[in-house]
Structure 1
Amino acid sequence: MPDRLGKRFDAADYDPKDPDPWLALWLDTSLPIDDDAKAALLRGHDSYSRRFLLPFLRPFVFVFFVLVHIVRRVFLHWPNLPKALHSLIHWGLKTFATPDANLLIMRHFNIGTEILAFIKANAGPVTIESFPLRPKTLADLKDNVFLQHDLNIYNFIIELNRDLRAQGRDLSPPGTLDLSMITDGPFEFEDFPDGPLNFADIQTAIELYTPLYALFLPKNDFVRAANSLQLDETIAIYIAKILGTDYHLGFIKNGHPMVPLSTFEAGHRLMLHGLDAEGIHGWLRVLKRRQAAGLPIDPATPPGSVS
Structure 2
Amino acid sequence: MAEFVRSDPSMWEAVFADPSVPLDRAVVRQIIDDQRRPSRRWLYPVAMVLSRVLVTIIRVLKRVLPFRWMPLGTMDSLCVWFLRRCVSPDAVDLLLRHFVIETNLMNFVIRNTPVGIEPVTLRPESLSELGNQAVVEHDVNVYDVLIALDVVPLVARDPLDFRHLDIPPLDAERHRRRLVRLDIQTALCFMNIPFSVALTSDEYRRAVHSMRFDDSFLEILAVITGDDTFRHWKLAGMSLWMDSNVDVPRMVYRHALVCEYAHAQLVKLAGGQYPRDTSVALD
Which residue matches 1:178?
161
Which residue matches 2:234?
252
Distance 1:233 1:64 in 2: 29
Cα–Cα, structure 1 residues 244 and 68, in superposed 2: closer, same or farther, change >3 Å? same
Distance 1:78 1:211 in 2: 14
**1:229–1:254: 8 Å Cα contact kept in structure 2?**
no
RMSD: 2.0
Which residue matches 1:144?
133
The Cα shift of 1:191 comes to 4.8
Name the structure, 1 or 2, with higher relative contact order (CA <8 Å, separation 6+).
2
Which residue matches 2:276?
none
1:192 alignment partner, SS class: coil
Which residue matches 2:63?
73
Which residue matches 2:145?
156
Which residue matches 2:221?
239
1:283 aligns with 2:259: no
Which residue matches 2:115?
126
Amino acid in structure 2 at the alignment position of 1:52: W
Amino acid in structure 1 at the alignment position of 2:111: A
Distance 2:26 2:66 in 1: 40
Which residue matches 2:48?
58
**1:254–1:269: 8 Å Cα contact kept in structure 2?**
no
Which residue matches 1:222?
204
Which residue matches 2:281?
none
Note the alpha carbon deviations across 1:216-252, whole angstroms, 9 max, x for none: 1111110000010111110111111111122221123
Distance 2:48 2:247 in 1: 12
The Cα shift of 1:211 comes to 2.5
Amino acid in structure 2 at the alignment position of 1:189: L
- Residue identity over aligned pairs, in percent, reads 27
1:190 aligns with 2:171: yes
Please, which moves more after superposition, 72-81 or 103-112? 72-81
Distance 2:161 2:6 in 1: 45
Distance 1:63 1:29 in 2: 39
* TM-score, normalised relative to structure 1: 0.82
The Cα shift of 1:172 comes to 1.2
The Cα shift of 1:63 comes to 2.4
Distance 1:285 1:187 in 2: 15
In structure 2, stretches of 5+ residues that fail to align are 274-283
Cα–Cα, structure 1 residues 175 and 63, in superposed 2: closer, same or farther, change >3 Å? closer
Note the alpha carbon deviations across 1:39-94, whole angstroms, 9 max, x for none: 22211111101000111333322321222122221122322521111111101001
Count of aligned pairs between the two proteins = 268
Paired residues for 1:191-210 under 5 Å: 191-193=172-174, 195-210=177-192
Cα–Cα, structure 1 residues 22 and 261, in superposed 2: closer, same or farther, change >3 Å? farther
Cα–Cα, structure 1 residues 217 and 191, in superposed 2: closer, same or farther, change >3 Å? closer
Note the alpha carbon deviations across 1:173-193, whole angstroms, 9 max, x for none: 22311111212xx53112523
Which residue matches 2:83?
93
**2:39–2:186: 8 Å Cα contact kept in structure 1?**
yes
Distance 1:178 1:20 in 2: 41
